[in-house]
Structure 1
Amino acid sequence: MLMKKSLILNNQKISYFDEGSKSAPPVLLIHGVPESSMLWKYLIPEIASLGFRPIAPDLPGFGQSERFPYNSTWENYLSFIDDFMAAVSVEKVHLVVHDWGGLIGLRWACEHPEQVESFIISDTSLLPGYTWHPLAKKWRTPGLGEKVVEAMSNKEAWMKNMKLEIPSVEETILEDFYSIFETSHTRNVILELYRSANRELVEPYQQLSKIRKPVTIIWGENDPYISTEFAYKTRDLQFPQAKIHIIPNSGHFIHVEAPNKVIPFVKQHFQSIIL
């Protein structure tokens, strides 16, 4: 059974999974919004079984991790990746990202290309031309965003909506995802993060094309937030070596919606590295 660990980093509690041998090649899994490390519940044992060390933090403010004592900006999450990797004593990682975890992880990789051994990228993009989905636009709007996240703190309604979006999802996973909405203090994390996004932080995106490591792109066919068009753009503009796998009849949260369809491609990725 998976159990989260915790550590104190910069005077705040950080919750995370860390499985496999400490001497095994590290795999850093970065979740998005509104998620937690429980997004990777089904992937972590599979990755560990192949002889790797999957490490998945609850980003500050999400899951059981305390939020930053300062603004939860994109830049501060980039710094968190450096600090967290140092805290768990890893230097080079295989990077697995989803949603905002991609904006954070891929942007971090632009500055640390020598520390990335491979990528698995899902339903995310660090490319110009992406238009915010309707909910993100509301979160980015001062005044309106505050009202929207407060409404989303109605747990019964939120759980009902998420179960409609991910019919097969486990209750324990949604409980962990919901943590971000529990208080106004944590709800503001979402607003601060979305409002910190700017074009300047996207500009180094072409740096990724210089990283000639294995890349697997896995995407939900019916993702309502970021379409499969960006799976192909990510390959064409950044990772020509990438293999793309579209998961049929699935949405944005593919790792908990259709794990049995995602896991074979994840295993294929890591098995090819072993070989």
Structure 2
Amino acid sequence: MAKLTRNDYKLNYVDYGDKHAQPVILIHGWPLSLQSWEYQIPKIVEAGFRCIAYDRKGFGKSCATWEKYDYNALAEDLHALIDELQLNNVILVGFSMGGGEVVRYISNYGNQNISKIALISSIIPLVKKTDDNEHGVPQEDLDGIVHQLETNRLEFLEDFHKGFYSYSTLKKTVSKQQLEFDFSVASHASPIATLKAALSWMDADFRTECRMIEVPTLIIHGKDDQTVPIETAGDQAAKLISNAKYIIYDDAPHGLNITHKDQLNMDLLEFLLDVKS
């Protein structure tokens, strides 16, 4: 593991594969870390790519700050990593909240150095229910999340990951050990980062920015996503992004990178390796 030094904090990242190969940057979801890409990183490297994954500030082994969890600041971290490693022709892959960094990066820094993007179970274009987004998550539900993070973060996180995988006693979509691992990762994240990053993905609206995307885009979303409803995310993103390939997993929850890892790896690698896309 390596560290990228910023003004007042450091970002943790891993960098695997041939340093001369095309770089793929993986951006994890909330409230986890780069470890959530455990089943994707080896396949990407074995396919001949340089694979880089990093911990968002305040998560995993990256330092926490008190402020700057808005998407402009988070995209600036991504830009700094690309600049530090002198990466060109980059492929960006964002899971859940990580889709926000991908889209904001393009809107702030342009399409020029980006080859392709993939949005997996992504929040793009918006999560919140509004007058013109009837399938979004109601404000009272989002307020409830904020309240729980402020008053009983650990209990919330334990329940959150069950919904993340659409897990129940009758439908054990992942192992007990997976739930415990995710809880451990999320519970060790900075409490202030967990809260303020949540506020960022709750309030963001990327509908206008989606129209700025010019590169080939892969969108994958599960119909059984109880965390980010497909109607407010994947369905809309596919309509807004002009050069998008949209794949729907009929029975997949939000955490399809675990529950449907083989299918995701196949679809993602096909997209990465397709010279026509």
Q: Normalising by structure 2, report the TM-score.
A: 0.81
SS at match of 2:211: helix
Residue identity matched to 1:139:
I
Aligned mates of 2:121, 2:97 — CA distance in 1: 9
Aligned mates of 2:209, 2:59 — CA distance in 1: 29
* Larger mean Cα displacement after TM superposition, 228-237 or 28-37: 228-237
- Residues 71 and 216 of structure 1: CA distance in aligned 2, closer, same or farther (over 3 Å): closer
- Maintained 8 Å contact 2:210/2:237: no
Residue identity matched to 1:181:
S
1:119 maps to 2:123: no
**Structure 1 residue runs without a partner (length 5+):** none
Please report the RMSD computed on the Cα atoms of aligned residues, expressed in angstroms.
Answer: 3.0
1:195 maps to 2:193: no
Aligned mates of 2:90, 2:175 — CA distance in 1: 28
SS at match of 2:93: strand
Aligned mates of 1:41, 1:127 — CA distance in 2: 26
- Maintained 8 Å contact 2:106/2:212: no
- Residues 163 and 271 of structure 1: CA distance in aligned 2, closer, same or farther (over 3 Å): closer
Deviations 1:121-147 (A, max 9, x none): 11224335373367643234xx55401
- Residues 103 and 163 of structure 1: CA distance in aligned 2, closer, same or farther (over 3 Å): closer
Task: Find the partner of 1:182 among 181, 188, 198.
Answer: 188
- Maintained 8 Å contact 2:224/2:251: yes
Aligned mates of 1:35, 1:22 — CA distance in 2: 26
Q: How does 1:108-187 map to 2 (within 5 A)?
A: 108-112=105-109, 113-127=111-125, 129=133, 131-132=136-137, 136-140=142-146, 143-152=147-156, 165=167, 167-168=173-174, 171=177, 175=181, 178-182=184-188, 186-187=190-191
1:75 maps to 2:81: no
1:7 maps to 2:9: no
- Residues 19 and 180 of structure 1: CA distance in aligned 2, closer, same or farther (over 3 Å): same
- Residues 14 and 38 of structure 1: CA distance in aligned 2, closer, same or farther (over 3 Å): same
Q: CA deviation at 1:96?
A: 0.6
Q: How does 1:200-219 map to 2 (within 5 A)?
A: 202=205, 205-219=207-221
Aligned mates of 2:200, 2:254 — CA distance in 1: 22
Equivalent residue number for residue 258 of structure 1: 260
Residue identity matched to 1:149:
R
Aligned mates of 1:136, 1:226 — CA distance in 2: 12
- Maintained 8 Å contact 1:138/1:148: no
Aligned mates of 1:135, 1:40 — CA distance in 2: 28
Residue identity matched to 2:195:
L
Q: CA deviation at 1:249?
A: 1.9
Equivalent residue number for residue 272 of structure 1: 274
Counting matched residue pairs gives 262
Q: CA deviation at 1:196?
A: 4.0
Aligned mates of 1:14, 1:170 — CA distance in 2: 30
Equivalent residue number for residue 129 of structure 2: none
Aligned mates of 1:222, 1:161 — CA distance in 2: 10
- Maintained 8 Å contact 1:38/1:173: no
Task: Find the partner of 1:232 among 230, 235, 238.
Answer: 235
- Residues 163 and 118 of structure 1: CA distance in aligned 2, closer, same or farther (over 3 Å): closer
Q: CA deviation at 1:152?
A: 3.5
SS at match of 2:274: helix
